[in-house]
Amino acid sequence: MTDRALAVVRAGALTTVQDRGRPGNAHLGVPRSGALDPPAAALVNRLVGNPPGAAVLETTLDGCALRPRTPVTVAVGGAPCPVAVDGRPVPWGAPVRVPAGALLEVGAARGGVRSYVGVSGGVAVQPVLGSRSTDLLSGLGPPPLADGALLPLGPPATPAAHVDVAPRPGPPAELVLRVTPGPRADWFTPEAVRTFSSRPYRVSPASNRVGLRCDGPPLVRCRSGELASEGMVLGAVQVPPDGRPVVFLADHPTTGGYPVIGVVRAADLPAAAQAVPGTPVRFVPVQRR
């Protein structure tokens, strides 16, 4: 291991390595994975001088603590959280120089769910199928961080950005998801279709990187039985037998047998990644573009 590495002092509840993922491999049964909030991951990379596709760390709720073996520039974005170097508060959403051996502490999210840690040079774990992303569904990529792990870093690319703080939208107070109806909306009663587009739901605590699960009125089918497995896409709203919608996120399966009542616009999914349990959810039907 070279000196360009990060030692994991505290891994947190769930911290994973993420980049832009593995799109284009669904025909092989490989999920896309990648950062759940791509704009936040791209921003922290930009702040530290990395290309937008460099690998970052995605934390979940309670952050992490890291100790670099060499001086690095870091930026923490995504869900707002306290950040400190050797116990001294430093800015969130801005590039910060961290000396070799200093302790970088990324605290618990004060709003939202997932914070992103960009490090100059990017996290340089071994790529799998062209990506360094951890995929929790398939097991591809590096495992989630564990205390004591060492993460290699790539060479720095360009200088860090000259900003005091980079503006970013806050976590949503209400999650509004634009949905293109179908392809299996005809598997549900007319009343269920109206319920889906007019009644409020809430983000379930059971949500994860595979899908945003919704609590609320169940959607009743007008057909019995199950579909043969068919392809699933990012943003597909699948309805399992309990009738409560699940919005597929980055680690979603590539096939499924439950009917899909609609597909959420990709532009709305980063907000879904930051919606805490209990956040109100509204599905708004839109026409195909």
Sheet holding 88-90, edge to edge: 88-90, 83-85, 104-106, 64-68, 5-10, 150-152
The answer to whether residues 46 and 123 belong to one domain is yes
H/E element, 96: strand 96-98
pLDDT tens sequence across 192-225: 999 999 999 999 999 999 999 999 999 999 998 8
The answer to whether residues 92 and 43 touch, using CB atoms and an 8 Å cutoff, is no
How does the average pLDDT of the chain come out, rounded?
A: 94
pLDDT tens sequence across 123-139: 999 999 999 999 999 99
pLDDT value for 289: 63
Output the domain CATH number for residue 210: 2.40.100.10
The answer to whether residues 107 and 205 belong to one domain is no
The answer to whether residues 141 and 273 belong to one domain is no
Mean pLDDT calculated for residue range 253-271:
95
* Higher pLDDT among residues 226 and 38, named by residue: 38
Q: Is residue 161 part of a domain?
A: no
Q: Is residue 16 part of a domain?
A: yes
Neighbour count for residue 80 (Cβ, 10 Å): 19
To the nearest whole percent, how much of the chain has pLDDT over 90? 86
Total domain count, the chain = 2
pLDDT tens sequence across 60-101: 999 999 999 999 999 999 999 999 999 999 999 999 999 999
pLDDT value for 26: 86
Q: Is residue 163 part of a domain?
A: no
Q: Is residue 160 part of a domain?
A: no
The answer to whether residues 140 and 198 belong to one domain is no
pLDDT tens sequence across 48-61: 999 999 999 999 99
pLDDT value for 167: 73
Residue 163: pLDDT band (50, 70, 90) is confident
Boundary residue ending a domain (104, 121, 152)? 152
Q: Is residue 158 part of a domain?
A: no
pLDDT value for 176: 97
Above 90 in pLDDT, residue 279? yes
Range of the domain at 81: 5-152
The answer to whether residues 233 and 137 belong to one domain is no
For the ranges 113-122, 130-139, 162-171, the lowest mean pLDDT is seen at: 162-171
Neighbour count for residue 4 (Cβ, 10 Å): 19
Q: Is residue 167 part of a domain?
A: no
Looking at residue 39, the DSSP 8-state letter turns out to be H
pLDDT value for 1: 44
The answer to whether residues 141 and 58 touch, using CB atoms and an 8 Å cutoff, is no
Contacts of 217 (CB under 8 A, 6+ apart): 195, 199, 201, 243
d(CA 144, CA 15): 6
The answer to whether residues 138 and 188 belong to one domain is no
pLDDT value for 77: 96
Q: Where are the alpha helices (DSSP H) in the chain?
A: 38-48, 190-198, 269-273
Q: Is residue 272 part of a domain?
A: yes
Residue 2: pLDDT band (50, 70, 90) is low
pTM equals: 0.94
